Chains A and B, each alone.
Chain A
Amino acid sequence: MKIGILALQGAFAVHEEMLQGLGADTVQVRTPQDLGLVDALVMPGGESTTMSHLLTTSQLFDPIAERINSAMPVFGTCAGMILLAKSIASGRPDQRFYGAIDIDVERNAYGRQVESFETELNVEGLQSPFHAMFIRAPQVVRLGEDVEVLSTHEDKVVLARQGSVMVASFHPELTSDNRIHSLFLQEV
């Protein structure tokens, strides 16, 4: 069982360290050949517009869509959540995304970097609060009825799951707490 980390841009290295810390076998995914090696995929935080662009130029967009359609487990954080959403408010018109989970998101919904923040979250299935980092984070502005809510902050859904797709608007990879990555690995 190999876990891929989409490594086109962004915070992929810290995701990889965290997954390796949990004993997972990992591969950085930059090409369709890399994708062929993996059984699950993490889409990290970074700039969603940059990743959308690089998914196309790296010939990865369609192969990933096919894998998601055939139920490959995916976990998207921040920009990764934007890429997995059904629709993006305040995105770029040419921005591409997968529509893999029935949510609409708004990019940079909390504002510019001075509004970025850290906070404590209560997460479904975890015994104690999770310390979370929100960096120019997106917000879920519409939630489909089949989506399971795992955590909210100030009435906004910040961690959710539908089938084999899990998304977070914050960055569990920026802390030393690996419990949310464990939740994902349990699904895999």
Chain B
Amino acid sequence: MTKNAARTTGSMQVKRGLAEMLKGGVIMDVVNSEQAKIAEDAGAVAVMALERVPADIRRDGGVARMSDPEMIMAIQACCTIPVMAKARIGHFVEAQILQSLGVDFIDESEVLTPADETHHIDKMAFDTPFVCGATNLGEALRRISEGAALIRSKGEAGTGNVVEAVRHLRNIFGDIRRITQADSAELFDWAKKLGAPLPLVQEIAETGSLQVPLFCAGGIATPADAALAMQLGAQSVFVGSGIFKSDDPSPRAKAIVEATTHFMDADILAKVSRNLGAPMTGIGMDQINERYAERGW
């Protein structure tokens, strides 16, 4: 956080402010300027610049790292919407580089190979806001206590299969609902069970909601998937491989944007879901060797 007489930058409120602005929107993974233009044209609220979409990372194997700054800068130069980029879990130097590039949000992401098997990045030390993945409420609250301004349910990236995203959203919102029913003595046990700071658990008991916005990621491939995540309580969706691994990315991207806005309107969902060509093929959970969602501590 930097302060002078006229302005305070990098405060928690300013970081969460951008997360608020992204609500009700679609954040799309893009690997080059051409895809970034397609995403912006389709009405994306932000793009995630990365060298390979998760489906390709999964296929290629090996170590996945932060993208080449040159590639991120090319995407920043070609679009006017916020640009996000990924750093490895615990790799605070990658995060320093991304902040120096001026990316609008840093995703400390399990899709990349973790750099630290115990510690996440101290996100309070940055002026750039962070988004982090979570599979359950305890994980979400640990990330918030480290300074994350936005949480996304992890799902299982690169699969085109929404089942894990649904599991994680139900985990998180289910526990929030249960905590609001708990009495004050039970909150101590909740904090212990979740491995989360007690004050954050108490705050949820009082307000009934997470301290920062909660978006959905990992496995969204169709407009109906996006609307499902929104009806389950997500406030926006990240779509990774689901757009640019489909047959015809542009109409699918537009349809997912409309579905995210009109997520409660089945007539509009039916209309936008027509004639989109084949979605990405997708894979079942029993066919994958490595679950990215298990990365993160």
Contacts and interface: CB of A to CB of B under 8 A. Distances in A.
Interface stretch (A50-58, A61-69, A180-188): A50-58
A96 interface: no
Given A50-B25, A135-B18, A114 B99 contact: yes
How many B residues are at the interface, by size bracket? 35 or more
A103 to B, nearest CB: 19
A174 B20 contact: yes
A81 B67 CA distance: 35
Contact of A113 (B23, B129, B265): B129
B10 interface: yes
Contacts of A118: 7-8, 11, 13-14
B184 interface: no
Given A45-B20, A135-B17, A9 B261 contact: yes
A13, A14, A30, A117, most chain B CB atoms within 10 A: A117
A39 B42 CA distance: 31
B82 A9 contact: no
B262 interface: yes
B151 interface: no
B267 to A, nearest CB: 10
Dominant secondary structure at the A interface: loop
A12 B81 CA distance: 19
Interface residues of A, number: 42
B53 to A, nearest CB: 21
Given A113-B129, A117-B8, A154-B6, A54 B258 contact: yes
Contact of A9 (B7, B23, B104, B254): B23
Interface in B91-107: 99, 102-105
A7 B82 contact: no
B40, B43, B257, most chain A CB atoms within 10 A: B43
Interface in A81-108: 90-92, 107-108
B45 interface: yes
Given A91-B80, A116-B17, A11 B23 contact: yes
Contacts of A12: 23-24
Interface in A150-176: 153-154, 171, 174
Given A46-B24, A108-B80, A116-B14, A8 B8 contact: no
A113 B15 CA distance: 8
A171 B6 contact: no
Closest 7 CB pairs of A and B: A53-B43, A117-B7, A113-B104, A9-B24, A135-B17, A112-B102, A47-B45
21 contacts: A10-B24, A30-B265, A45-B20, A46-B21, A46-B22, A47-B21, A47-B46, A49-B43, A50-B25, A50-B43, A54-B43, A54-B258, A58-B262, A114-B9, A114-B10, A115-B9, A116-B9, A116-B18, A118-B11, A118-B13, A136-B18
Interface of A: 7-14, 30-31, 45-47, 49-50, 53-54, 57-58, 78-79, 90-92, 107-108, 111-119, 133, 135-136, 153-154, 171, 174
Given A58-B262, A113-B102, 14 more contacts: A7-B261, A30-B261, A46-B21, A46-B45, A47-B81, A49-B80, A50-B81, A54-B258, A90-B80, A112-B104, A113-B128, A114-B9, A114-B128, A154-B6
